[in-house]
Amino acid sequence: MIRRLVHSAAPIFLLTACAGGEVTPNVVLHLAGGFVYAPAAGSEAAGYVTIDNRSPLEDTLLVIRSPGAGMVHLHRQVPDGGMVRMVPVERLPIPPGITRLEPGGLHLMLMALTGTLSPGDSVDLTFAFVSAGEHTVRVPVIAYGDAPPPPPAGERTP
């Protein structure tokens, strides 16, 4: 648990061996400010995280997993006139800078929950990126109507 937290707080340097034998850092990602809403009914929960790509290279988010859910989908809500239309996202480009998953926009849908998620609980989310590999964060479960947790001190703002 402690090791996991330390690991997730530290940037991931995925080292790529180049042809000449040199080693150069590839993509540096920080994940922070995540949370999951306790479901109001049923067996699905929406989740969010902010991804800070601190490298000049684009990465791609491929898969999300959680021990709390049978599967995790990524959806984007798109304003369409006065409506909100929901679109599944298969691969999410992570350009340099901040990518926010936030209410009203991009969200994770934790489906087939393996247990109850109540405010005050926490749950692990593992994100698999093409370049940066896997990154696990432990996020709090909050109630709808609660303010999302503020990003940790020192996080850059866009």
Partner 1 sequence: MPHATRLLSALISVTILAGCQGSPPPSQAPEALRGPELATPLPKPDFTLLTLDGAPFDFRKETNGYLTLLFFGYTHCPDVCPVHMANLGRVMKQLPNLVTERIKVVFVTTDPERDTPERLREWLAGFDPRFIALTGSPESIRLAQVAARVQPAFRDTSVATAPGEYLIGHAAQVIAYAPDNMAHSMYPWGIRQEDWAHDLPLLLERWPGTGR
Provide the binding-site residues for partner 1, judged by CB under 8 A.
37, 40-42, 44, 46, 71, 73, 75, 77, 79-88, 103-104, 107, 109, 111, 143-145
Q: Could you write out the DSSP letters of every residue in 3-56?
A: HHHHHHHSPP--EEE-TTS-EEE---EEEEEEEEEPPSSSS-EEEEEEEEE-SS
Give me the least distance between CB of 92 and partner 1, in Å please.
Answer: 15
Nearer to partner 1, 62 or 76 (CB): 76
Of 9 and 86, the one with the shorter C-beta distance to partner 1 is 86
Nearer CB in complex with partner 1: 60/77: 77
State the minimum distance, in angstroms, from the CB of residue 103 to partner 1. 4
**Which CB sits closer to partner 1, 53 or 66?**
66
Report in angstroms how near the CB of residue 139 gets to partner 1 at its nearest: 15
- Using alpha carbons, select from 136, 131, 134, 158 the residue that is nearest to residue 68: 136
Distance, CA of 91 to CA of 26 (rounded, Å): 19
